[in-house]
Amino acid sequence: MDFATRAIHAGQDADPTTGATIVPIYATSTYTQPAVGEHKGFDYSRTVNPTRLALETQLAALEEAQFASAFASGMAATSAVMNLLSAGDHVVVSDDLYGGTYRLFSRVLTRYGLSFTYVDMTSLERVREALQPTTKMLWLETPTNPLLRLIDIAAVAGLRRTGMIVAVDNTFATPYFQSPLALGADVVVHSTTKYIGGHSDVVGGIAITNDAALAESIKFHQNAVGGVPGPFDAFLTMRGAKTLAVRMREHERNAQAVATFLSERDDVAGVMYPGLTTHPQHELARRQMRGFGGMVSFTLHGPESRALDLAKRTRLFSLAESLGGVESLITHPARMTHGAIPKEERERRGVTDGLLRLSVGLESARDLIADLRQALDATRYEAGAPADPGIGDPPNPDRIPATQSAGAPTA
């Protein structure tokens, strides 16, 4: 079956007891058993719940996989996958990644004896150099966040040694545009809070695999640790996921239009969108993905204050963390999503103070572009003005512009 059909039908059988067409919200923690040791496969809702099970079946089908475990958040799903490792294990991680993942790895999991090496995985050579005898996992996010670079999943998976797990955070691309398991990954993780839920009204996560042993271990941890979503959250996520195909097509169309508009402005320094032919990995994106997604990042000419000012002036693009909902959002990664990463480390990775990230929603593209145009015009910055402080160096309002300074030396 095709993607759109799977999204609507997988796991969505009519309710066996009433015929309800839509999977009910099974708000129950426990299940009545006719006799000791006899039940219908449901005993306690941390372990298994029919609404959650329907969601897991649906999302496994979207990744064309056999097994999925749902969690209360993307981070809980990531944490469950990391539970596959043991003290002493080493992980190679793509360095341009979700700030919360970096926080989990660097501030929580290192205390449990895991070690991490962050590398620019757009270079296979760097990944190869980072491998240690104890390396047990390769963790990658592509397109990367927030710089929207691409990692060649098949090539990185090709470096896997026996017993090593290749895990991909597929949140940005979604299963509609990218299938990491088919490219050689062992496990896929999603923050379903984003595109899969799609309406910014529920937090959730999922871990998906075709490997029965990994699936069993993740299921074990789901039950043992207990980071499960409630049935209402599972219901909302499932409802959102039914329209993933139509939404992603429209997100992409709008993102392409916004990226093209931005790239034609002379006060925009750079636009990052895999769908632009100027993107350094556009060819890889065409090969590895079935579309380019709805995220666009860009840098402005001018000081950081201009980026902050612009983020305040957009009206349709709400200034907010997160992404993937029907409404458009604008984020200043350095101070918001990636604030957990030390400034020096952040800048080394290219997440500069002048960078803005857009989650392009499903409003009319014309209205979105008009909104960005008014915000850009209102903060217009004349490149080459005498007191050009450059990105990342806030202007000093007390500084006298060189042209007015009567010959005084300027710093």
Report the interface residues with ligand PLP, using CB under 6 A.
Answer: 73-75, 98, 100-101, 141, 145, 169, 171-172, 191, 193-194, 203, 205
Rounded Cα distance between 101 and 391, Å, is 27
> Residue 99 Cβ, how far from ligand PLP at the closest point, in Å?
9
- Write out the H or E segment, with its range, that includes residue 331: strand 329-331
Nearer to ligand PLP, 45 or 145 (CB): 145
Dihedral sign, Cα of residue 102, residue 281, residue 252, residue 2: negative
Rounded Cα distance between 145 and 142, Å, is 8
Rounded Cα distance between 75 and 91, Å, is 17
> Residue 190 Cβ, how far from ligand PLP at the closest point, in Å?
8
Rounded Cα distance between 13 and 8, Å, is 10
Listed residue (55, 76, 73) closest to 11, CA to CA: 55
Which residue, chain included where needed, has tokens 């999943």?
153
Contacts of 164 (CB under 8 A, 6+ apart): 135, 136, 137, 138
Nearer to ligand PLP, 8 or 72 (CB): 72
Q: Catalytic amino acids?
A: 46, 98, 169, 194
> Residue 338 Cβ, how far from ligand PLP at the closest point, in Å?
11
Task: Name the pairing type of β-strands 205-209 and 268-272.
Answer: unpaired
The CA-atom distances, in angstroms, between 83 and each of 113, 123, 164, 221, 249 are 12, 27, 14, 7, 35
Show the beta-strand stretches assigned E in 29-160. Answer: 67-71, 90-94, 115-119, 135-141
The answer to whether the beta carbons of residues 247 and 199 sit under 8 Å apart is no
Give CA angle at 156 (154, 157), nearest 5°. 60
> Residue 154 Cβ, how far from ligand PLP at the closest point, in Å?
20
> Residue 73 Cβ, how far from ligand PLP at the closest point, in Å?
3
Nearer to ligand PLP, 170 or 379 (CB): 170
* Minimal CB distance residue for ligand PLP: 74
Nearer to ligand PLP, 207 or 365 (CB): 207
> Residue 17 Cβ, how far from ligand PLP at the closest point, in Å?
32
> Residue 5 Cβ, how far from ligand PLP at the closest point, in Å?
27
Nearer to ligand PLP, 58 or 73 (CB): 73
> Residue 320 Cβ, how far from ligand PLP at the closest point, in Å?
12
Listed residue (181, 125, 127, 183) closest to 154, CA to CA: 183
Nearer to ligand PLP, 205 or 275 (CB): 205
The CA-atom distances, in angstroms, between 45 and each of 40, 69, 320 are 13, 13, 33
Task: For 70, list phi and psi in degrees, rounded to 5.
Answer: -95, 150
Nearer to ligand PLP, 247 or 301 (CB): 247
Counting every residue, how long is the chain?
411
Contacts of 304 (CB under 8 A, 6+ apart): 334, 353, 354, 391, 392, 393, 394
